[in-house]
């Protein structure tokens, strides 16, 4: 099988490529990535010499470039990870989120229609469902939960999901969608909660917790997300949405304290800063459907996963120090300077 993996120089896409090349020796991957601030070719260095892997720098919203690639490469399957992915950046400037996440998805869907495809898989997020109240622990997101996005990021992802459903219903394109909870693990860009807190703690810098830190996220180790997507590609049903999550809900403040404890750093580094606008309270996935239909279950528990993740950031300092010492400093100052 020849897979066209977009956004493969980012966090989850790169982990997926490593997983796939290892697990399926008969498959080949063409990675298409625009190398935005979040894309990093260094991440893909371990597979660059692999004869079953090829990298092309291109924007998924560039119709001519995508059509030319589909025409010459004839992929069997497309897995679309490419996106603008950070909620805080979407609050600052929504436009690029619509351009990449919505228009980019439409271009890929059109290319699939034009050149034919066995499967188009859209990597979506639980954030399309909006949030759940903190005092209703009995509520979970199922595949039937109505879309109710809160941020420009989640609105753009929900729009892309609607387009995917429309291309399935209208044109019969074999589309699947997965909506996963928050991921953590190696190669996550240090603007996101877990790597940001690890990097700051290691530098003895303040750890900026939004509001009281009582918001809840449902954390999944990235490799478990990759195994779920792989199963959906091979055994999933076209037209179907699959929720992915491992029932691992934690308050932000507890995540931060866990990281400090693992690193042996003091809780006095925690600094409460102004809350995010429109901050979603709680995300919680009900993964019963993917378990029942495809037999998927997560393999990495949180205690194990967070230790492995912290260790990875300790062992791979040059990877993230390059980032935090570069252009990222301007972002950090803008976002946290007088918060």
Residue selected from 14, 106, 150, 215 as contacting ligand TYD according to rule CB under 6 A: 215
Number of residues that bind ligand NAD (CB under 6 A): 30
3-state percent breakdown (helix, strand, coil) of the chain, nearest 5: 45, 20, 35
CA distance 119 to 129: 24
The residue within the footprint of ligand NAD, chosen from 180, 207, 216, 233 (CB under 6 A), is: 180
Do the Cβ atoms of 64 and 24 come closer than 8 Å?
Answer: no
Stretch that binds ligand TYD, among 28-36, 71-79, 168-176, 204-212 (CB under 6 A): 204-212
Is 59 among the residues that bind ligand NAD (CB under 6 A)? yes
14 and 44 Cβ atoms separated by less than 8 Å: yes
3-state secondary structure of 281: coil
CB of 276 to ligand TYD, least distance (A): 6
Regarding 207 and contact with ligand NAD (CB under 6 A), the answer is no
Q: Active-site residue 267, yes or no?
A: no
The values of phi and psi at residue 250, to 5°, are -140, 145
Q: Which residue is catalytic, options 33, 59, 84, 127?
A: 127
Which of the following is catalytic: 126, 131, 249, 280? 126
Query: What is the residue-wise DSSP string for 199-240?
Result: HHHHTT--EEEETTS--EEEEEEHHHHHHHHHHHHHHPPTT-
Give the range of 15-23, 29-37, 131-139, 203-211 binding ligand TYD by CB under 6 A. Answer: 203-211
CA–CA dist 236, 28 (Å, integer) = 20
Rounded Cα gap, residues 47 and 264, in angstroms: 35
CB closer to ligand TYD out of 114 and 148:
148
Can you tell me the distance from the alpha carbon of 188 to that of 86, in angstroms, rounded to the nearest whole number?
A: 12
Shortest Cβ 135–ligand TYD spacing (Å): 17
Smallest distance, ligand TYD to C-beta of residue 55, A: 26
200 binds ligand TYD (CB under 6 A): no
Instruction: Assess contact for 176 and 121: CB atoms under 8 A.
Output: yes
Here the tokens at position 180 are: 């996963």
Q: Counting contacts by CB under 6 A, is residue 107 touching ligand NAD? A: no
For position 210 contacting ligand TYD by CB under 6 A, the verdict is yes
Q: Among all chains, which residue has been given the structure tokens 């066209």?
A: 4
Q: Is 208 in the site for ligand TYD (CB under 6 A)?
A: yes
Member of 123, 155, 196, 241 binding ligand TYD (CB under 6 A): 196
By CB under 6 A, the residues from 76 to 105 that bind ligand TYD are: 87
Contact between 66 and ligand TYD (CB under 6 A)? no
Nearest to ligand NAD of 181, 258 (CB atom): 181
d(CA 278, CA 154): 12
Q: Which of 19, 24, 36, 205 binds ligand NAD (CB under 6 A)?
A: 36
Give Rg (Cα) of the chain. Answer: 19
The answer to whether 230 is a known catalytic residue is no
Between residues 193 and 229, which has the closer beta carbon with respect to ligand TYD?
193
**Catalytic residue status for 161:** no
Q: Token pair of 20, please?
A: 């796939």
| Rounded Cα gap, residues 160 and 86, in angstroms | 16
> How does strand 207-210 pair with strand 270-273?
parallel
Chain contacts with ligand TYD (rule: CB under 6 A): 87, 182, 192-193, 196, 208-210, 215, 217, 252, 276
Chain contacts with ligand NAD (rule: CB under 6 A): 6-7, 9-13, 33-36, 38-39, 59-61, 81-85, 100, 104, 123, 125, 157, 180, 182-183, 189
Q: Supply the residues annotated as catalytic.
A: 126-127, 153
């Amino acid at each position: 099988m020849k897979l066209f993996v977009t956004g493969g120089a980012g966090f989850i896409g790169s982990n997926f490529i490593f997983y796939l090349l290892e697990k399926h020796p008969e498959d080949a991957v063409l990675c298409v990535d625009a190398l935005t601030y979040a894309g990093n070719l260094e991440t893909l260095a371990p597979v660059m010499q692999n004869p079953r892997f090829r990298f092309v720098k291109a924007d998924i919203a560039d119709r001519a470039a995508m059509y030319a690639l589909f025409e010459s490469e004839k992929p069997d399957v497309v897995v679309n990870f490419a996106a603008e992915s950070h909620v805080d950046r979407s609050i600052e400037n929504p436009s690029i989120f619509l351009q990449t996440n919505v228009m980019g998805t439409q271009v890929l869907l059109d290319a699939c229609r034009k050149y034919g495809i066995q499967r188009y898989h859209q990597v979506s997020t639980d954030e399309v469902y909006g949030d759940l109240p903190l005092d209703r622990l009995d509520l979970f997101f199922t595949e039937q939960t109505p879309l109710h996005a809160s941020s420009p990021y989640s609105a753009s992802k929900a729009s892309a999901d609607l387009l995917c459903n429309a291309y399935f219903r209208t044109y019969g394109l074999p589309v699947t969608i997965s909506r996963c909870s928050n991921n953590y693990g190696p190669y996550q860009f240090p603007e996101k909660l877990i790597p940001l807190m690890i990097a700051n703690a290691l530098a003895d810098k303040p750890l900026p917790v939004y509001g009281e830190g009582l918001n809840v996220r449902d954390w999944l180790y990235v490799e478990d997300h990759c195994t779920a997507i792989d199963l959906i590609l091979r055994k999933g049903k076209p037209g179907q949405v699959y929720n992915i999550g491992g029932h691992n809900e934690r308050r932000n403040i507890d995540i931060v304290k866990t990281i400090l404890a693992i690193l042996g750093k003091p809780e006095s580094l925690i600094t409460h800063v102004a809350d995010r606008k429109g901050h979603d309270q709680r995300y919680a996935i009900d993964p019963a459907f993917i378990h029942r239909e495809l037999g998927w279950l997560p393999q990495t528990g949180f205690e194990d996963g967070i230790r492995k993740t912290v260790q990875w950031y300790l062992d791979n300092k040059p990877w993230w120090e390059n980032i935090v010492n570069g252009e990222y400093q301007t972002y950090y100052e803008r976002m946290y300077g007088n918060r």
